[in-house]
Amino acid sequence: MSEPNTPTGSTPTNSTPTSPRGNFLQAASVSHSRALVCYALGIVIGLVLGGISLFNARGTTTNRLPDENLALVNQRPVLRSDFIAQLETETGLPFNQTSREEQLRVLDEMVREELFVQRGLELDFAETDPDTRYALYNIVESQILAGVTTSNFTEAQLRTYYDSHREDFSPQSFEDARQEVQTQFYDSERTRVMRNMLQFLRNRSTILIADEYRDDYDPTIYQDSYFK
C-alpha cells in the first residue's frame, strides 16, 4: 500500500485540543480562570488579615505609659503626682512609707473616680444637675485662684498698695496696718485674676442674650459686686 502524501514543506498539525487545566497551571500561558482565582484569593487573604489586625487592636492596651502617668482610663491620664498627693492625704504618711496595699487601694479609687466622672460627662450631669454645676464651678474657680496666695506677696507690693489706699488705713502706719493691708491686697488680687479670666472666657465665647434684656445687659456693671 502506498503511504499518503504529505505536502512538501508543511508541518504536521497536532489536532489534540489543549486542556483548560493545562493552561491554568502554566505560568507562560494566559488563563482567565487563573486570574479570577488569584484575584479572589487576594481579596480573601486581605479580609482575613484585616480582620485579625482589627480583632487584635480592640481590647489591646499599651503597657508603656509616660512617666508622669500612673494609668490611662479611656485615654484620660491618672497623674502620678495626683496619686502621690491623694495617697499621702489619705494615709497621713510620706509616699515611701505607705504600703503596697494602700497604694493599690488609692490607685483603684482614682481609676473608679475617673470612670464615674467620664460617665457623668456622658450623661451631661454638668449641664443638667444643679449640684454638679455648682461643684464644677467651685473647682474651676479654685483652680483659677490657686496661684493667688499671701505667701507670694512681696513687701514692695504691700507697701505700694498701702500708699495707694492710705485713706483705708489712716491713721495707721504701714507697720501697724500690715495685716489689714495684706488681707485687702489679697482680696484685690483675687478680684483682678478672676476678672481677667472671665474677660478672657467672654472674649473667646459667643453669648446671645434674649431680646428683652439685650440692650440693657452689661456684665461689667455687676462684676465688681460679684467678686466681692
SS (H, E, C) 84-143: HHHHHHHHCCCHHHCCHHHHHHHHHHHHHHHHHHHHHHHCCHHHHCHHHHHHHHHHHHHH
pLDDT the model gives residue 21: 52
Q: Average pLDDT, stretch 185-192?
A: 89
Residue pLDDT, tens place only, 207-226: 788 887 888 888 777 666 56
pLDDT the model gives residue 41: 58
pLDDT the model gives residue 42: 63
pLDDT the model gives residue 43: 63
Residue pLDDT, tens place only, 145-180: 888 887 788 999 999 999 999 999 889 999 999 999
Q: Is pLDDT of 48 > 60?
A: no
* 102: its cell numbers: 494602700
pLDDT the model gives residue 135: 87
77 pairs with which residues across the strands? 72
pLDDT the model gives residue 191: 87
pLDDT the model gives residue 156: 93
The mean pLDDT value of the chain amounts to 77
pLDDT the model gives residue 2: 47
Judge if pTM exceeds 0.75: no
Residue pLDDT, tens place only, 59-94: 444 567 888 888 999 888 899 999 999 999 999 999
71 pairs with which residues across the strands? 78
Residue pLDDT, tens place only, 95-146: 999 999 999 999 999 899 888 888 888 888 877 888 888 888 888 888 888 8
Cα three-residue angle 78-79-85, rounded to 5 degrees:
115
